[in-house]
Structure 1
Amino acid sequence: MIDKQSPIPIYYQLEQYMKEKIEKGEWQPGEMIPSERELAEMYDISRMTVRQAVNNLVNDGYLIRRRGKGTFVAAQKIEQPLKGLTSFSEDMRARGMEPGTIVLSFEMVPASEKLAEGLGVTEGDDLYEVRRLRLADGLPMALETLYIPVNLVPGLTRDVVSGSVYEFIEKEKGMIIGSAVQTLEASVARKVEAEHLKMKEGAPVLLLERRTHLVDGRPLEVVKSVYRGDRYKFMIEMKRGGS
């Protein structure tokens, strides 16, 4: 497995071998891997070399260290293609996972100048402001804040937002959701975000902002979400012009 005569660095060979075991399911999420000493003895290499391979896999989100316990296989990241407009619940079900929601707050607030512009309403108009913790198989994935004009979707309740808002809008209100513009950027978790997402303050997160419109062009929602960087990744399919 380790070819010491190869021009490929030994730490990289070990790193790829361990990554393969994780991706093939030979090492399962939550399983503790052999210690650095055991790996060094197993492959007759230095502990420093093992440590470099393990550090790289930790940084890439394949492994996670637990102080005083050891190093474990991290939960696999959920991949979401950035094409097509789907709800969080639809994304999770498509991956065979059970979506869940904890409603942290549900209230009406006056539209700020920025939100009024984004939602096509007058500043001061009533908006639903909903803060939700989104779960996949019971694990926290994202902290979400959404704004919807009250006069556009009357009857929205705390019970409704504890499930799929898109489903309610399309099936109960008969509206057709048409398109959205979404931005994505990297950041780090602030204290409150870290507490809700069960991660360390300063850990990497993904910030998303989505502005959704109905098929007739009316603005429907502005959603701001904070996703765990160690459990979520986004995939973009690109084609070169003219191909």
Structure 2
Amino acid sequence: MKARYDSIYLDIRANIENGEYPYQSLLPSESALTQAFGCSHNTIRRALGLLKEKGYVQPVHGKGVRVIWRPRERATFEVGGIESFRETAERNRLSAQTLVTAFDHLVADERISEATGHPVGADLTHVERVRVLDDQALILDQSYFLTSCVPGLTKEIVEGSIYDYLEGELGVVVATSKRTITVEPATEHDRELLDIEGFGYLAVMTSQTFDSKGNMFEYTTSRHRPDTFCFHDTAVRSTV
């Protein structure tokens, strides 16, 4: 069950995204929000803290909480958060489809271990997926799942949402993802599966994802056509 502040965060976020609270405007006061949502000041502060963390608002001393979110023309994949492809598509209001082009089991050898971080000898489930957004094949995912952490994975589950299966069926708590973003030449395999349209380079995000027990259950490389997608994060400067 989600906490109360989560639902308030989602409500305020929706009001920001639909323009009820436009860019550079101030949100209603904390007192007004507690009255509107029928909750405590602490609950509102937690919701506002989450909005700040996600880059929607910025508290301004002596004035209130200012909206700093603006809609972006390109679909964005949040570098600082962890969300499934389906969640990303829904957030960006895009039609989405996953095409599974490879699904097999293997044992990690030294080459795979060096590339992925999975230990030598680990039983892995290898999945290749083409991600289609608004009828264009734009992303190619290569994933290696630790089979012991994702038992019972099938092609049908992969075509839907692996994270729904992990969290809903297996009770896995997805905790942390370490990511690297590079620009790499497009390969012939990319050209076979993606609508590259003459682009010679792709944006590539590599992820190592861990559960709440510290197990690295997934290694994925996502190869993106560069004109359609950007990678977004919100950074906060720390005081020394």
Question: What TM-score range do you get, normalising by the shorter chain?
Answer: 0.5 to 0.7
Q: CA deviation at 1:113?
A: 2.6
Q: 1:215 to 1:229 in 2, by over 3 A?
A: same
Q: Which residue of 1 aligns with 2:41?
A: none
Q: Which residue of 2 aligns with 1:125?
A: 122
Query: Which amino acid counterpart does residue 165 of structure 1 have in structure 2?
Result: I
Q: 1:208 to 1:176 in 2, by over 3 A?
A: same
Q: Which residue of 1 aligns with 2:195?
A: 198
Pairs within 5 Å for 1:232-243 = 232-242=229-239
In the alignment, structure 1 segments of 5+ residues that lack a partner are: 1-75
Is 1:168 equivalent to 2:169 in the alignment?
A: no
Q: CA deviation at 1:121?
A: 5.4
State the alpha-carbon separation in 2 of the partners of residues 157 and 174 from structure 1. Answer: 17
RMSD of aligned residue pairs (Cα, Å)? 2.1
Query: Which amino acid counterpart does residue 94 of structure 1 have in structure 2?
Result: R
Q: Which residue of 1 aligns with 2:103?
A: 106
Q: Which residue of 2 aligns with 1:217?
A: 214
1:120, 1:218 within 8 Å by CA — same for their partners in 2? no
Larger Rg: 1
- Which of 130, 133, 158 is the matching residue for 2:155? 158
Give the structure-2-normalised TM-score: 0.64
State the alpha-carbon separation in 2 of the partners of residues 195 and 120 from structure 1. Answer: 28
The range that moved more, 232-241 or 219-228, is: 232-241
Is 1:136 equivalent to 2:124 in the alignment?
A: no
State the alpha-carbon separation in 2 of the partners of residues 119 and 197 from structure 1. Answer: 23
Deviation sequence 1:194-239 (CA, Å, 0-9, x none): 2211224652310111000001211110001111101111123223
Is 1:77 equivalent to 2:71 in the alignment?
A: no
1:119, 1:149 within 8 Å by CA — same for their partners in 2? no
Q: 1:160 to 1:135 in 2, by over 3 A?
A: same
Residue identity over aligned pairs, in percent, reads: 26
State the alpha-carbon separation in 2 of the partners of residues 225 and 119 from structure 1. Answer: 13
Give the structure-1-normalised TM-score: 0.63
What is the DSSP-based 3-state SS (H/G/I as helix, E as strand, rest coil) of the residue aligned with 2:210?
A: strand
